[in-house]
Amino acid sequence: MPWEDSPQGSLKHMVNGDMNVRVNSIDAYMQELAPGSRSGKHRHMADEALYVLEGQGYDLHWDVDVALGTTYEWKVAEKPSKWEWEAGDLVWIPPNTVHQHFNASATAPARFISAQNRAFKFLGYDDVEQLENAPEWKPSGGAAPRPPTDR
């Protein structure tokens, strides 16, 4: 699969429901954050695991409480927790946690693999809530050009 620019940033799908592969239980992609950049800020029902391949940075995680009535009411914490990471680290993002990834280096990209359980999609709960786009994303369909890198 080719690299693509998305509201989350630059990513390359490794396994998803649209691919003709035998893996049916997870979705996985590789993501690259440009030096000094960040991903989109979002939340989704499924928990997520990130394995950091290269670089260093941090995540901000905002806990979310849910009030159940006739509708869901999401209550996002005002202050996030900060989780620093570097190559070789595994970062876990709990279900429904608002989160965003940051590359702490001004000179080198950060790259990680993300995996999520696909069961929520099968059950109809694939509810990504996009709160902020990655700075490189151009929603008009004209994504910012990607500099060539060795992949």
pLDDT at 125: 72
Per-run averaged pLDDT (10 residues), the chain, 151 residues: 87 80 81 96 92 98 88 87 98 95 98 89 78 88 47 44
Residue 132, strand partner residues: 41
Give the pLDDT confidence score for residue 141 in this predicted structure: 53
Model pLDDT, residue 4: 87
What pLDDT is attached to residue 16? 77
Q: Closest by alpha carbon to 31, among 98, 130, 102, 123?
A: 102
Domains, the chain, in order of start with CATH, read: 4-129 (2.60.120.10)
pLDDT of residue 146: 47
Instruction: Please give the full DSSP string across 78-133, using - where no structure is assigned.
Output: SS-EEEEEETT-EEEE-TT-EEEEEE--SSS-EEEEEEEETHHHHTT----EEEE-
- Do 69 and 123 meet the contact criterion of CB atoms below 8 Å apart? no
- The pLDDT score that the predictor gives to residue 13 is 86
* The pLDDT of residue 128: 82
- DSSP lists the bridge partners of residue 106 as none
Task: Please name the residue that has the structure tokens 């992609």.
Answer: 29
Q: What is the residue whose two structure tokens read 């029902």?
A: 45
Please give the pLDDT value at position 25: 76
pLDDT, residue 1, reads 74
Task: Write the CB contacts of 39 (distance below 8 Å, at least 6 apart in sequence).
Answer: 8, 9, 31, 33, 100, 101, 102, 134
